[in-house]
């Protein structure tokens, strides 16, 4: 249960209101780069998920995911966003064709947080 799907705007807002890190993968089910990074994101979530670091996915292709995506000002799939105590701390778009560098960057960021 490391990665949970956010499907309600109020739930997204409530997660951001909690202390700690919130990591979100904004994706679409019809996005080939999203399918490439999904297992990598899941592996990172399994490694780093704890009471202070929570992992989510938002499917921006369908509502209400599109509404959450607009509120987060995400315009590209996949986009990885990290919030610290409710404020955006890091964001990266995964290019097409996909590169795993943004995923590696996320992992480095999370390694630094555990110090």
| Catalytic residue set | 31, 34
Ramachandran class of 86: left when φ > 0, alpha when ψ lies in -120 to 50, beta otherwise: left
Alpha carbon distances (Å) from 13 to 68, 77, 112 = 9, 21, 25
Alpha carbon distances (Å) from 77 to 29, 32, 74 = 10, 9, 8
């Amino acid at each position: 249960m490391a990665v949970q799907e956010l499907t309600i705007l109020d739930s997204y807002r409530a997660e951001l209101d909690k202390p700690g890190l919130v990591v979100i993968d904004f994706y679409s089910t019809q996005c080939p780069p999203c399918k490439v990074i999904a297992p990598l994101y899941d592996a990172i979530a399994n490694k780093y998920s704890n009471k202070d670091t929570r992992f989510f996915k938002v499917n921006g292709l369908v509502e209400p995911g599109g509404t959450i995506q607009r509120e987060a000002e995400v315009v590209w799939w996949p986009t990885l966003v990290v919030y610290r105590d409710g404020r955006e701390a890091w964001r990266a778009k995964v290019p097409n064709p996909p590169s795993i560098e943004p995923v590696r960057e996320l992992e480095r960021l999370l390694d630094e947080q555990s110090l």
